[in-house]
Amino acid sequence: MGTRVPASGGGAVQGAARSPSSGVDFFVSYTGADQGWAEWIAWVLEDAGYRVRIQTWDFNAGSHFVTEMHQAAQVAARTIAVLSTAYLSSAFAEAEWQAAWAADPSGRARKLLVFRVEECDRPGLLGQLVSVDLFGLDRDIAAGRLVAAARGERSKPAVEPVFPGGPAQPMVTATGMEPTFPGRLPDVWNVPSRNRHFTGRQSQLDQIRTELGSGPVAVTTLHGMGGVGKTQLAVEYAHRHAAEYTLVWWIDAEQTLLVGEKFAALAGPLGLSTDGAVSDIAAIVLAALGRRVGWLVVFDNAEDPVALRDWLPSGPGHVLITSRNPGWEALAAAVDVDVFERAEAVAFLTRRLPGLNAAVADALAAELGDLPLALAQAAGYLTTTRTDPASYLAKFRTRRTTLLGKGGDPLYAGTIATAWSMALERLRADAPATVQLLTLCALLAPEPIPLALFDDHPDLLDGPLAQACAGTHPRLDLDDVVGDALAYSLARRSGNTIQLHRLVGAVIAGQLPEERRDVLRGVVVALVEAALPDEPHRSGTWPVYAMLVPHARIVFRPDRPGVLKLLEYLDASGDYRTAKIVQEDVHNDTVARLGAEHPAALRTRAAVANWTGEAGDPGGARDMLAALLPVCDRALGADDRQTLLVAARLADWTGQAGDWPGARDLCLSILPRWRRVAGEDDPETLYVWANLGFWTGQAGDVAGACAHYAAFLPIRERVLGPEHPDVLESRDQYARWIGEAGDPAAARDLCSALLTVHERVSGAEHHGTLWVRTNLAWWTGKAGDPAAARDQYAQLLPIRERVSGPEHPATLVARGNFAYWVGQAGDPAMARDQYAALLLIHRRVLGPDHPDTLLDQRNLAHWTGEAGDPAGARDQFAAVLALFERALGPEHRETVAARTELAVWTAAAPDWAAAPPGSATAGRP
């Protein structure tokens, strides 16, 4: 039994220094990997009479972690840093010790005490402090050093240390049962060495501890795909919790027939007889474990629950199993081990490769699918070859299969190229239909794949997979085929989808002969094309398209018929960024096949420009079309329809880029040419004619726009019919300009009448119908009823989200209008919060420089001021104004409006008089 470390002179500590305000002497700063050390340090100090604050004992469930940490560091007289490699990589830990350092940079007040609990560096400022090592010592010696350092005394203990060769035992002190000293391993221990680069996984470690602590006999399985780090997680758990056990025994269970031999090897350390047959000795060991307490047995890489069942020990101990097979639910609790979170993957790479650029680390982690084995293999290769990481990343993207076989890590068996080879060989022998399925999936994107892709089209398949999908196989259906893949964690299933990790797919595809790969590519192209629904403009087909787009982009050549369906879906659903990328592929392919000035190439080039504008870059679209127009003039002729179409789109994007008079003038110049070439009733002539009215109004001639639409509407109705979608759109625009001309009530009534027609002709949830509802709500508010406008948008939004999706541009317009009328109806704080949420979505979906994103920032600034924060509004408008000036120019209407609001809110702010000379607000009353 160890002895308690007394204060100097042998008596209990009565006069330990205390923080006068809180009575807290020490705040223990640590990271999760060192929780055992932190708790032991806190216990010893409190047993010596000090008051200690530590996260695991003092932070209540539901409290804010960062706030608690900050308060603890503030109220404690001193901070203890539990220093380890893991601690040095923790941003939270760094903030905690640096706060203590800043309060006492000279170290005279000893505000920061550093205790090393493993061999590690003391970089930077930490290297200037005298630290105390607690590792590699007997418990009493370590405790003596700890208390002496806390008191500022010599580290010599007051009593003779316990003989270091004796067994470690928990000690009973005045305050109860002390946590086991974490610096000593159990006497029976054969766990592999700890991974010094172990990163993250805190939630899984906590879950393991919870599951194993759920009863006197607890069995927990860590399951996941090969290379995901199950073994490393089990090793880390065993090391972190070694102090909680008297015996930890590691068994390589990949070959179940050898498990008995591994158990028999435990007989000697337990002091049991080693004479007799291996099976008899193993049985004796199992019986002995049933009579012991405080043991942990780890079965690593066990694959067959039935074969291992009889080897699971009974008695008050813990069993931890690592396996690719998820089918352990009858025997064990499960902890799912997936790939790293991206932050964990980046942290791992930057720890392995000091100085690695964060952006390169993020890109490399993405390319490697955040798989721990792949990350370790890449880090090993880069360390060994001294290759520049950015160069490796570029090389990996073009030579993936080759590099998957290079590099290595001593803590992992094999490389990515070999990680799944045994499982695939077994499946080739026992489940050929599963290999067929995995091979086809490997040629698709590493995204969820609908199983209906295969089940609905068995006629496009062959062999046992075709039989399973058609229901003609004597034993299998598709669920059985998928189940065999899941048993080896080569795929994940969620509902009616299956997904391969990108590197599993790369390895499987890389093993295919080129000729066979080409044949199977033809199969997946046919499968995806057959699965694309007709009428991609209808929202009911969009969930299927959303699932298939990633795969279509991988397998379709740009000249496939299915690409046109994809573009129609992307347009209707509002995914303009992806449409632009797809269209660029089509254009590049067309140029490669036909030449840059072929009419087809000029059409696809114009389409790229249009998608560029739709994706949020109207200025870019304008410039691309301006460059294209003279090429069309030269190659096709000035009066060719394609040339005139480019000119018409140039007018559109000129206006969208903010030059409304320029757009109007371009329409004026183009319209006579269209009339001469195509006739007054041609749809494109009518299109340009309609846009002339729109840009006339935008350029400031609202009365002219009203007169234009009043004259134009009867012509369009005569040509197309009174209920044609284009005619209904023109009626909607006419209502808009009536409202802008100063008669919002008339605009409201026109929209109300138009809504009735739309609902009858197109249906209540057609996009045109929903746009009219959007405008009706707007003009209802402008006509003097903001509460009704707010309520109409509140009713419209759920429909828009269901029909178009929560991030469709039209849905986001409705969200913005809802926020506006919420504010106008008397709740500026809610309007501010609505715009703040919308701004985050627009930044992610459209990008930070999109005009709609900038308008969100302007509106957020406005409602910040209206909600009672004029200084906040002023500061936000100052930032917004700079963005508007850069994106739209200094004289654009929105820029001028932002400049005006900046002046208003600067004057309203309490410190408005402090505006610098020459600013927009200098000298204002």
Closest to 870 measured CA to CA, from 835, 830, 828, 918: 828
User: Looking at residues 561-590, what average pLDDT do you find?
Assistant: 90
Q: Which domain holds residue 901?
A: 827-925
* Whether residue 850 sits in one domain with residue 777: no
| pLDDT band of 565, cuts 50, 70, 90 | very high
Residue 692 in any domain: the answer is no
**pLDDT single digits (tens) 184-237:** 788 889 998 888 778 888 888 888 988 888 766 688 999 988 888 889 899 999
Which of helix, strand or coil describes residue 28? strand
Q: Are residues 874 and 769 in the same domain?
A: no
Domain identity same for 361 and 281: no
Whether residue 787 lies inside any domain: the answer is: yes
The pTM assigned to this predicted structure is 0.63
Is 380 inside a domain boundary? yes
Residues 41 and 164 in one domain: yes
Instruction: Report yes or no on 694 lying in a domain.
Output: no
Same domain? For 710 and 790 the reply is yes
CATH value at residue 922: 1.25.40.10
Is there a domain that residue 687 lies in?
Answer: no
Tell me: do 213 and 122 sit in the same domain. no
| 6 within a domain of the structure (yes/no) | no
518-553: per-residue pLDDT in tens?
Answer: 999 999 999 999 999 998 988 788 889 989 999 999
| 149 closest CA partner among 123, 162, 130, 164 | 130
The pLDDT value recorded for residue 548 is 94
The answer to whether position 8 is within a domain reads no
User: Would you call 492 helix, strand, or coil by DSSP?
Assistant: strand
Domain boundary among 625, 649, 681: 681
In terms of domains, do 427 and 407 share one? no
Query: Final residue of a domain: which of 812, 844, 866?
Result: 812
Distance CA 672, CA 428 (A): 70
Of 169, 196, 226, which marks where a domain is finished? 169
Q: Is the dihedral of CA 492, 497, 502, 508 positive or negative?
A: positive
pLDDT (tens digit, 9 = 90+) per residue, 711-767? 999 999 999 999 988 899 999 999 999 999 999 999 999 999 999 998 988 888 888
* Most confident option among 148-152, 240-244, 351-355, 360-364: 360-364
Residues 120, 84 contacting (CB under 8 angstroms): yes
Answer whether residue 595 shows pLDDT above 90.
yes
d(CA 700, CA 482): 63
Total domain count, the chain: 7
> CA 219, CA 925: separation in Å to the nearest integer?
76
What CATH number does the domain containing 76 carry? 3.40.50.10140
CB neighbour list of residue 553: distance below 8 Å, 6 or more residues apart: 445, 566, 578, 581, 582
* 794 and 886 co-located in one domain: no
Residues 598 and 543 in one domain: no
Other Cβ atoms closer than 10 A to 861: 27
327 and 192 within one domain: yes
pLDDT for res 162 = 45
Judge if 808 and 838 occupy the same domain.
no
Q: Are residues 115 and 35 in the same domain?
A: yes
Answer whether residue 553 is part of any domain: no
